[in-house]
Amino acid sequence: MRRTRLRIRLLISILFWVILVSARAEAGPSASATCANCHKSKVMEQRDTPMGRALALPGSNFVLKSHPRLTVRKGSYTYVVETHGNESTYSVTDGARAITVPIRWGFGAGAQTWVLERGGKFYESIVSYYPAIVGLDITTGDEKLTPHNVEEAFGRELSDDDKKTCFGCHATGTQVDSKLNLETLKPGLTCQRCHEDSNEHMAAILLKKLSPMPRDLGALSSEGISNYCGQCHRPWDMVVRSHWRGEMNVRFQPYRLANSRCFSGTDPRISCVACHDPHQNLVHNTSSYDAKCLACHASVATAAQVAASEVPKTCPVAKSNCVSCHMPKVTLPGGSSHLTFTDHQIRIVKPGGSYPN
């Protein structure tokens, strides 16, 4: 139904658009074409999501614009992040020496870390902005560093590989011939980052052809979708191979979900996109997920059906707000952490129980 309506709406908009383009044929058919010409509401919604804003450039870095002066002291070093108009700077001093550089790339739509360039090298900032404290603290993962001088206190140097993957997960169009290219970068994840073959689709449609269509991502199995989102949210096998144990792995949803007894690699009711629309903001109202759980744990299951394992069990405790008990919030461990995630290993949580791996 949804698809049919979409198709009709889209065909009408193409018709308008093709007429418009033919009228301005001298400009070339794709001179100003974008996905928004035909998928307007998706574009309008998606660009303001955290994924759409996963990287910010100067001028549109709203985290910094709304916090024009941030400062923190860590050991013998003082950090200041200052914004005037569209320009921001990051500086560190030990009282005697100071290093100050402009901020070009802000990673993260909520919490934010800066990738800094100095003397032709790239660094991850040693301090980051955290909404939970409305201020700066040590960047997650850098807690164990003990800087010996201002250079070391400034940032953690990124390898070529780090640089490539960093920009690759937070932005679009960052690679040309599989090499990092910051000239072609578009901040955040745009349509083309996930629908990698959609430019061909757009070109075809502008020539009034309906193929090739972009790969139908909705046709992936739940395991396929987990791996697809896992390109960036990290797949199960990477977490296992890297021995990322303990509460820090709560941020890797594909891994946690696969460890849940609810997960099946072939059942679409437990796929990432059953609960999340990647084009829209995350839904925070916990009771709105009830229908997702009840799609399998139907409250009308008879004792005989459950005994025969025809349907999963029902809850003896409550009939609503399932995720509030079975998908608990977990704060990352470590003295300087200010990040909380939702445990996707759906389970019975025992009071005082340990974190299952």
Binding of residue 175 to ligand HEC (CB under 6 A): no
Instruction: Output the six-digit token pair for 157.
Output: 């140097």
Residues 282-321 within binding reach of ligand HEC (CB under 6 A) = 282, 284, 286, 289-290, 292-297, 312-313, 315-321
Binding of residue 327 to ligand HEC (CB under 6 A): yes
> Which residue from 92, 275, 337, 338 is in contact with ligand HEC, where contact means CB under 6 A?
275
> Which residue from 201, 223, 239, 249 is in contact with ligand HEC, where contact means CB under 6 A?
201
> Which residue from 8, 98, 133, 348 is in contact with ligand HEC, where contact means CB under 6 A?
348
Residue 46's φ and ψ, nearest 5 degrees, are: -65, -35
Q: Which is nearer to ligand HEC, 69 or 313 (CB)?
A: 313
The neighbour count for residue 209, using CB atoms within 10 Å, is 10
> Which residue from 59, 102, 110, 333 is in contact with ligand HEC, where contact means CB under 6 A?
110
Sequence length of the chain is 357
- Contact region with ligand HEC (CB under 6 A), list: 93-101, 147-155, 239-247, 253-261: 253-261
CB 180 within 8 A of CB 150: no
Is the C-alpha dihedral spanning 202, 204, 210, 213 positive or negative?
A: negative
Q: Which is nearer to ligand HEC, 98 or 213 (CB)?
A: 213
The CB-nearest residue to ligand HEC is 218
What is the spatial distance between Cα 321 and Cα 220, in angstroms, rounded to a whole number? 28
CB 289 within 8 A of CB 275: yes
> Which residue from 92, 202, 337, 338 is in contact with ligand HEC, where contact means CB under 6 A?
202
What is the spatial distance between Cα 341 and Cα 5, in angstroms, rounded to a whole number? 36
CB of 67 to ligand HEC, least distance (A): 15
Binding of residue 166 to ligand HEC (CB under 6 A): yes
Residues 14-33 within binding reach of ligand HEC (CB under 6 A) = 14, 17, 33
Q: How far is CA 120 from the centre of its chain?
A: 28
CB of 96 to ligand HEC, least distance (A): 28
CB 112 within 8 A of CB 50: no
Spell out the long-range contacts of 10-16 with Cβ–Cβ below 8 A and sequence spacing 24 or more: 10/38, 10/39, 13/37, 13/38, 13/40, 14/38, 14/205
CB 159 within 8 A of CB 148: no
Instruction: Output the six-digit token pair for 331.
Output: 């704060």
Q: Which is nearer to ligand HEC, 1 or 96 (CB)?
A: 1
- Contact region with ligand HEC (CB under 6 A), list: 74-82, 83-91, 179-187, 248-256: 248-256
Q: If we measure between CA atoms, which residue out of 306, 164, 329, 169 comes closest to residue 250?
A: 329
Residues 75-94 within binding reach of ligand HEC (CB under 6 A) = none
- Contact region with ligand HEC (CB under 6 A), list: 66-74, 90-98, 144-152, 273-281: 273-281
> Which residue from 61, 103, 108, 235 is in contact with ligand HEC, where contact means CB under 6 A?
108
